[in-house]
Amino acid sequence: MRAPYTESEYVCSPLASRADHPSSDRPTVATVDLNALTHNYREVARRIGDRKVLAVVKAQAYGHGAIPVSRRLVELGIHMLGVALVEEGRDLRDAGITAPILVMAPVFPGQAEVIVSAKLTPVVYTLAMTRALSDVAAGTGRTLGVHVKIDTGMGRIGLSPEEAVDFIAAVGKLPGLAVEGLMTHFADADLRDKAFARAQMDRFESLIRSLEAKGITIPLRHAANSAAVLEYDRALLTMVRPGLMLYGYNPLESGVGADLRPVLSLVTRIAFVKRVPAGVPISYGRTFVTKRESLIATIPLGYADGYSRGLSNKGEAIVRGVRVPVAGRVCMDMTMLDVTDVPGVAEGDEVVLIGAQENERITADDIAARTGTIAYEVLCGISGRVPRIII
């Protein structure tokens, strides 16, 4: 187990907890501001009263680095961390994080021993998986907490509410297990129209009443993702599951409702500047041709770093406080910018791809809008070869 991160520490990859000597001389870095994370967490806390928080840190905390982010969130008092994979939970345990960890994506019987030994909390919805967990937990003399997943309309994993009562009663009889949580997931709580979210809550609340009628009370009941935390109080229940809003982005279609601060910035530096006459093609496929005498800057960042090829001739960067366009196709390791209109531009200048410089700002939402995706994918897509700096 490595020592805790210090301020301004380089983290060489999303699996930096396995690196003994994280360091990098690469000019392309993603900076993760834990003070912004703290601010966003307090926005969650301000909305939910005395309810518990399950902070979602799956996919390397949406590309920010699961270990340093989780450590900060534990310091702030979250009740539980949420991951997708058993391996993600085990990495947090290996880093010395002892907070409860919910594994929210599918798990398999062959993973039962790791789940029990790492003291992870699995989501269950099949008896085969649940019996495998029971066998291992009972064999070690431990009681393993589980959360039962209910599909109220997402159409993904989980039991229907109609079959859940009998399932939960059966799980309650298995040795070594305790049903401590009941959860569902919204399909479209980010939309202005909450009609389908209301229908999902109707089904979930009906199940809770049916369980209580049989004398079954499950303490942790959770449905609210970031969108519901921001705009659907009915779904707050006893615990909430914020993800995207912790990292500074608002998933609501309306775009209103919170003072959030982006946690991650993506920056690099200009490697080369050249002056070219009009009529010169730039990059693969010659999709960009200079219309005037131009200054073209090359930066050491490309789609292998998670800067989407879909930003070819569409993306923008900030250099010396000026927004500049991507010139031509984004390459695997390099991208060209038209910096003709930047006074005094020079090799070595900082280039902001996500973040702020002087009076300009580019967000993951901006990139998502230009590439036809969502901020989640932009953030998660930043490659592991981009060093993370934790401040």
Q: Residue 146, by phi and psi: left (phi above 0), alpha (psi -120 to 50) or beta?
A: beta
Among residues 36, 1, 38, which one has the least CA distance to residue 20?
1
Strand 144-150 to strand 177-184: parallel, antiparallel, or no bridges (unpaired)?
Answer: parallel
Q: What is the dihedral of CA 226, 46, 202, 214, to 10 degrees?
A: 120
Whether residue 284 lies in the annotated active site: yes
Whether residue 58 lies in the annotated active site: yes
Among residues 300, 285, 288, which one has the least CA distance to residue 335?
300
Question: CA–CA distance from 195 to each of 159, 160, 185, 199, 357 (Å)?
Answer: 22, 19, 15, 6, 41
Among residues 302, 308, 301, 298, which one has the least CA distance to residue 379?
308
Q: Find the catalytic residue in 5, 10, 58, 194.
A: 58
Rounded Cα distance between 159 and 150, Å, is 5
Instruction: Please check whether residue 157 is in contact with residue 134, taking contact to mean a CB–CB distance below 8 angstroms.
Output: no
Q: Which residues of 142-163 are buried (b: 16+ CB within 10 A; e: fewer)?
A: eebbbbbbbbbbeeeebbebee
Residue 291: DSSP 8-state:
S
Rounded Cα distance between 353 and 316, Å, is 7
Strand 360-362 to strand 388-390: parallel, antiparallel, or no bridges (unpaired)?
Answer: unpaired
* Residues involved in catalysis: 58, 284
